[in-house]
Amino acid sequence: MAKNLPQTGIISWITTVDHKRIGIMYAVTALFFLLFGGIEAILMRTQLMVPNNDFVTGSTFNGLVTLHGTTMIFLFVMPLSAAFFNYLTPLMIGAPDVAYPRMNALSYWIFLFGGLLLNFSFVAGMLPDGGWFNYANLSGPKYSPTHGIDFWVLGVQVVGLASLIAAINFFVTILNMRCKGMTLLKMPIFIWTTLVTQVLLILSLPVITVALVMMSFDRSFGTGFFDPEMGGQVIMWQHLFWIFGHPEVYILILPAMGIVSEILATFSRKPLFGYSVMVYSTCAIGFLGFAVWAHHMFTTGLGPWAQALFSAGTMLIAVPTGVKIFNWISTLWGGQISFTTPMLFAVSFIAMFTMGGLSGVMHSSPPIDYQHQDSYFVVAHFHYVLYGGAVMALFGGIFYWFPKVTGRFMDETMGKIQFWLYMVGFNLTFFPMHFLGIQGMPRRIYTYAGDQGWNLWNLMATMGAYITALGGVLFFVNLIYSCFNGKRAGADCWDGRTLEWTLASPPPEYNFAVDPEVTQLDDFWVRKFDATGNRVEPALQPEIDPATKHLPNPSFWPLVLAFGILLLACGPFFDAKGIWLSVFGLGVMLLGTYGWSYEEA
Amino acid sequence: MVSDHEGALHATNTGIDNRKFGMWVLIASECFLFGTLIANYLVNRARGLSGPKAQEIYEIDITTLSTFDLLMSSVAMVLALHGCQNRDVGKFRFWTGIVVLGGVIFLGFQYYEFSHFVHNGLGLTTSIFGSSFYLLTGCHGLHVLAGVLWMSTILATSFVRGDKWFPDVPLEVAGLYWHFVDVVWIVIFTVVYLFVYI
Amino acid sequence: MEILKKSTWRDPLQRLGLGWMAFSTSVFAEGSKQAKAFDEVEYQLRATLESPMNTIAGLTEWARGINHVYGITTLVVTLVFLAVSIPLIMAIVKFRVPEGTDLKQLKPPKQVHGNVQLEFVWAVIPVILLLFIAVPTWEAIFEQPEEAPEDALVVKVIGHQWWWEFQYPKYGITTANELHLPAETPVFFELTSADVIHSFWIPKMGGKKDCLPGKDAMNSMFFVTPAASEIKTLGGEYFQGQCAELCGSSHALMRFDTVLHTREEFGRWTQVHNQPPQVTSALQEKGQELFAQCAVCHTLAGTPSEEQEKSMLALGTPKQGPNLSNLGSRKMLGAGTRWNNQRNFIEWVKNPQSIKPGATMTAFGHLSEEELLALSAYLMQSTVKKI
């Protein structure tokens, strides 16, 4: 069956196991969900533009809050990072594909179905409204009797499974499939941040999996894990959620740091300053990230000793992070900086991420956190980290690697206008939120009285959001325009440093015709100069007849298996009868697994 | 079952086959899964507001038997792999069958235990102690079930593909999984059943 | 710049840190004074500086302690921000290659791979800076007692969807949405919830703490109330508070007031609070009769509804609604959502959900205008308004 599948057209995309195609599918899907998350944000900001507004109701607003957070984290930033992992990891380490190509396809389909399941809540008219961390017992059956929360619980469960499968895949790929000469400390820094991110995913996802199962049991089978009336504890959910949730923050930011490091080095024409220290600080951040979860819970009454320890641990994270920031600046220092669009995004990342990091240091102190917790100061903080930080870096990454993926540059003029719309809009939205927090505006309130002194800042924030939205529209215009009309890009279009630039743009399906070999960090860049520093053009990868390379066969089974998982997860929506849907889903999963196992890879 | 071909195409940096490496990574993840479940059980075991308590309901002698059974199936797993690697198809099939049998017996014990507990008034929703207990041991039971399916698939495939089929790496990967599930049970047996007597 | 002059900021470091924070919010205001066209902006900025929930004008020793750490931290992070942004800006200005340069023709810059000494320095400096934050942080953490001090006034705070219940066990008083406190008194709050998680927050008195549901989940907060000199209005000084943890559809409408009295005034308040409403007119008598319907969920101290509450509590089914004793004395209705006056009261009784979506109270739309007036004549009295 597998061998007869077509190489082009829609079927070829559905059955593909090529990491590059899967990467593109991840990116397109993530950007599609960005539209959702963005529209949700605009609706919220419109509601909060003026006091006592009644543009949406309180429960709709809570739904928008929840879906905006969940979509942006689980369906935009994480999968867009996964798109970069997919597309770039084999190219950067000189491998023909990932370790398990079909598992890769499986993880994409599971992610897609999970995202659709979560957003199906719109169609069903039952929005999950417990916030992105969905605190028990508000999310329990008693206080959220509709299926809204179920969409969240099961959607996140399914998306989490996709991430876990992908994480195992990339972890093994990076450790097992590097090209000749690429020892661990000669890997591009993006690969290092990818590797640490996968470790965080592998170890933190099981915790949220258990927490979500417990919540599903509470909601569907009447257990009381988080119900105080049955002896459960609401605080248990918070611990389990944040044991996952804090590493999750680094899962979102570490890939962005890797992208920024690559872009800064390329457009400064200098190696990354202090590469090995950057590697160690990435590992340190990942390690410490597991030991600080309770700083999200300072107001729950942890007791003084726990607070002292968790606040000290949190402050400690500032050290490796600070080292990174100064190393980035030192990378720029003494370089030949050209401000292309990706570079603009990367440099703005340093400034915006620093702001977010510093306000983070502020509420690492529990007494300050007593005032900041659940106020707009926190909203400002994490948007500076995740939006000014992670999202800006990911946009930089899109502009940087777009020519590699499509063979065409994205339009620089539109890109720069988008960048400035984003910078102005972003800061106009989120900087005033610090003031709102200082003035005591709680987060997640759908309306406020006019006499609180919050009016001006809220109006400014809303205007900023509209400006950002303009930038977002421009981005999508640019994306579509450049796919068809962008300036042609050669193999090494940015004067790059890593192995992916030795390949044609777009790269051939088999990646490397000749197995690459490296002798040092940034090997490709170093080979561009002879001993006296004069420019020599190193050889690029030749192109050969694809038929001479053995490629993994395309397969339907990942899609079948993923569909079985979707059916399994849909069961709880149909109450008692749903068990049969779940059983049927299990059957489809078994079919997929056996089909997969006996198929020739 | 891990496919025969996936990952077998290239020499790896670590020297460990991709499939085996992947299983090790999955096991790392599973450690956190069971760690969370066990921690949850420990937090909640004394919080049951109604229904029977742990010391009133556990039957340690029966559980000891089933633990012994699972341990022995791990030994059978080692022998099956040994048979496979020595190209002794009879030994390979026999001990694979014993692994399956051991798993099935364990599941039988668990079925007996669960129905016995329910009969004595400890249902899934009776108390939070019960919920945590069923969640933890039930999750482990599902792992055993997956292992039984996996091993019986290997056994069936062996009969389909004939005497010359020796799935060294897939069997080793399955073995890693089976030993892990066994080790987790020993932890559960200690923490859940034996701690009651301390 | 009034905030800068506030005497509550006790040391120079704190003045500098919080002053900078206030300065950055007020810098527009000063500028806009020059330009008359921005009257509205100026008005808004004044409102900003005097905002009732602001977190940097702490009035209790505890809140000032928080502000102390806050000030130092703000200063440290501002310094660090400058230490990052100045070299960053210098780097991108100084090392920028002019637009249109053919980089491939350009000899690349010196390839510096790192500098261990330098990297060591910027790993150590943050550690030192963090100690400046950590030490006062730890001091403040251990300042909060976990048990109620002997001399403290104990107030039980119970969060409900979406209103606040305050109990004073010492005085046998239960009230809702308006917390009355004596000046210069240590107060220990026992925080719990009747349903979901809420968060109790009076920004000017100190930080927030969560109200968790569950018998063994009690949280606490302690502070010594501000001096009587802070009371500038007759009948007590009002401080706003609000629930800070998402608690359902009307989370935004879960506000409350804290009223600070002089000790004498508070003493009188405790004596008269539980007196039942007087019935002197036919209208009030009718209201009293009608209240029997309300008493299924609500209690009025000193009336039969109190006995009813006790028996319901004994059955394990406590009354669902807030205690309405001295409703007329309260400033706001519906947990801080509307001014407390007859018109709003009637509108609330007729259709509470129009004011607070999701409120569990039954709508009494079927009552006639006269009945509603009677109910308000009975309930809206106040024995404590003129203490």
How far is C-alpha C372 from the geometric centre of its chain's CA atoms? 32
**How crowded is the C-beta side of C175, counted as CA atoms within 13 Å?**
27
The DSSP-derived string for A443-486 is: TT-S---GGGS-HHHHHHHHHHHHHHHHHHHHHHHHHHHHHHHS
Q: Is C319 helix (H, G, I), strand (E, B) or coil?
A: coil
Q: Using the predicted structure, report yes or no on whether residue A429 has a pLDDT greater than 70.
A: yes
Q: Using the predicted structure, report yes or no on whether residue C28 has a pLDDT greater than 80.
A: no
Cα torsion for C202, C207, C212, C217, to the nearest 10°? -130
Which residues, 6 or more positions from B137, have their beta carbon under 8 angstroms from its beta carbon?
B110, B188, B192
In a domain, A568, yes or no: no
* Chains linked to C by 3 or more Cβ pairs within 8 Å: A
Rounded to a whole number, what is the distance in Å from the CA of C163 to chain A's nearest CA?
15
* pLDDT score, position C36: 46
Of residues C339, C368, C331, C375, the one with CA closest to residue C355: C339
Question: Hey, what amino acid is at A229?
Answer: E
- Find the residue in A nearest to C83 (Cα): A326
Say if residue A346 is in the same domain as residue A291: no
In a domain, A353, yes or no: yes
Do the beta carbons of residue C61 and residue C6 sit within 8 Å? no
pLDDT classification of A116: cutoffs 50, 70, 90: very high
Handedness of CA A177, A182, A185, A189 (dihedral sign): negative
* pLDDT score, position C385: 59
Q: Is B16 helix (H, G, I), strand (E, B) or coil?
A: coil
B21 contact residues in A (CB cutoff 8 A): 99, 172, 175-176
What string of H, E and C letters represents the secondary structure of C335-361?
A: CCCEECCHHHHHHHHHCHHHHCCCCCC
* Percent above pLDDT 90 for chain C: 51
DSSP letter assigned to residue B125: T
**How crowded is the C-beta side of B55, counted as CA atoms within 13 Å?**
5
* Chains linked to B by 3 or more Cβ pairs within 8 Å: A
- Considering only CB atoms, B40 lies closest to which of A171, A210, A221, namely A210
Length of chain B: 198
pLDDT mean across residues, chain C: 85
* pLDDT score, position A48: 96
Say if residue A47 is in the same domain as residue A159: yes
Mean pLDDT over residues A405-417, rounded? Answer: 96
pLDDT digits over C307-365, tens only?
998 999 898 888 899 999 988 889 999 899 999 988 999 999 999 999 999 999 999 99
The residue written with tokens 């200098």 in the block is A270
Q: Using the predicted structure, report yes or no on whether residue A240 has a pLDDT greater than 60.
A: yes
Cβ contact, residue pair A600, B32, below 8 Å: no
- C338-339 and C219-224 beta bridge pairing: unpaired
Do the beta carbons of residue C76 and residue C20 sit within 8 Å? no
Cβ contact, residue pair C109, A334, below 8 Å: yes
Say if residue A497 is in the same domain as residue A535: yes
How is residue A75 written in tokens? 């369906």
pLDDT digits over A522-548, tens only?
999 999 988 888 888 888 888 888 778
Q: Does C21 touch chain A (CB under 8 A)?
A: yes
Question: How is domain B4-197 classified at the architecture level of CATH?
Answer: Up-down Bundle (1.20)
Say if residue A309 is in the same domain as residue A447: no
The pTM (predicted TM-score) of the whole model is: 0.93
The CATH number that applies at residue A121 is 1.20.210.10
pLDDT mean across residues, chain A: 93
* pLDDT score, position A425: 96
Could you list the beta-strand ranges (E) of chain C. 153-160, 163-168, 173-176, 178-182, 186-193, 198-200, 209-211, 219-224, 237-242, 255-261, 332-333, 338-339
Rounded to a whole number, what is the distance in Å from the CA of B167 to chain A's nearest CA?
13
C110 contact residues in A (CB cutoff 8 A): 270, 334
The residue written with tokens 């006034």 in the block is C153
* pLDDT score, position A543: 85
Say if residue A146 is in the same domain as residue A244: no
* pLDDT score, position A452: 87
Do the beta carbons of residue B7 and residue A97 sit within 8 Å? no
Say if residue A35 is in the same domain as residue A124: yes
Mean pLDDT over residues A477-489, rounded? Answer: 95
* Chains linked to A by 3 or more Cβ pairs within 8 Å: B, C
State in Å, rounded, how far the first CA of chain C is from the last one: 36
Range of the structural domain that residue A263 is part of = 187-335
Enumerate the β-bridge partners of residue A432.
none
Mean pLDDT over residues B36-59, rounded? Answer: 88
pLDDT digits over A269-326, tens only?
999 999 999 999 999 999 999 999 999 999 998 889 999 999 999 999 999 999 999 9
Give contacts of A 164-223 with C, CB under 8 A. Answer: none
* pLDDT score, position B10: 55
* Percent above pLDDT 70 for chain A: 99
CB atoms within 10 A of CB A183: 11
* pLDDT score, position C3: 41
pLDDT digits over A149-178, tens only?
999 999 999 999 999 999 999 999 999 999
pLDDT digits over C205-217, tens only?
988 999 999 888 8
Calculate ∠ Cα C179-A454-A457, nearest 5°: 155
Q: Using the predicted structure, report yes or no on whether residue A578 has a pLDDT greater than 80.
A: yes
In a domain, A345, yes or no: yes
In a domain, A329, yes or no: yes
C252 contact residues in A (CB cutoff 8 A): 58, 442, 444-448
The residue written with tokens 């949405």 in the block is C177
In a domain, A453, yes or no: yes
What's the number of domains chain A is made of? 4
In a domain, A559, yes or no: no
**How far from B13 is each of A87, A498, B21, CA to CA, in Å?**
21, 19, 11
Mean pLDDT over residues C274-289, rounded? Answer: 89
Q: Does B152 touch chain A (CB under 8 A)?
A: no
* pLDDT score, position C209: 95
In a domain, A597, yes or no: no
Say if residue A120 is in the same domain as residue A24: yes
Q: Using the predicted structure, report yes or no on whether residue A403 has a pLDDT greater than 60.
A: yes
Angle between helices C39-49 and A455-485 (to 10 degrees): 110
Q: Does C79 touch chain A (CB under 8 A)?
A: no
Say if residue A237 is in the same domain as residue A294: yes
Q: Does B25 touch chain A (CB under 8 A)?
A: yes
CA distance A544 to A535: 27
How far is C-alpha A291 from the geometric centre of its chain's CA atoms? 21
Do the beta carbons of residue A254 and residue A193 sit within 8 Å? yes
Exposure of C252 by Cβ count < 10 A (0-12 exposed, 13-18 middle, 19+ buried)? Answer: buried
CA distance A113 to A317: 35
Rounded to a whole number, what is the distance in Å from the CA of B14 to chain A's nearest CA?
6
Does residue A137 have a cis bond before it (omega within 30 degrees)? yes
Cβ contact, residue pair B36, A213, below 8 Å: no
Say if residue A196 is in the same domain as residue A215: yes
Q: Does B22 touch chain A (CB under 8 A)?
A: yes
Which residues, 6 or more positions from A216, have their beta carbon under 8 angstroms from its beta carbon?
A150, A153, A154, A157, A572
Angle between helices B18-44 and A189-220 (to 10 degrees): 40
**How crowded is the C-beta side of A575, counted as CA atoms within 13 Å?**
4
Say if residue A194 is in the same domain as residue A166: no
Residue B111 φ then ψ, to 5°: -60, -45
> In the listed set A542, A557, A575, which residue is the last one of a domain according to the structure?
A542
- Considering only CB atoms, B10 lies closest to which of A177, A202, A596, namely A177
Say if residue A327 is in the same domain as residue A397: no
Say if residue A26 is in the same domain as residue A118: yes
Task: Please give the ipTM for the structure prediction.
Answer: 0.93
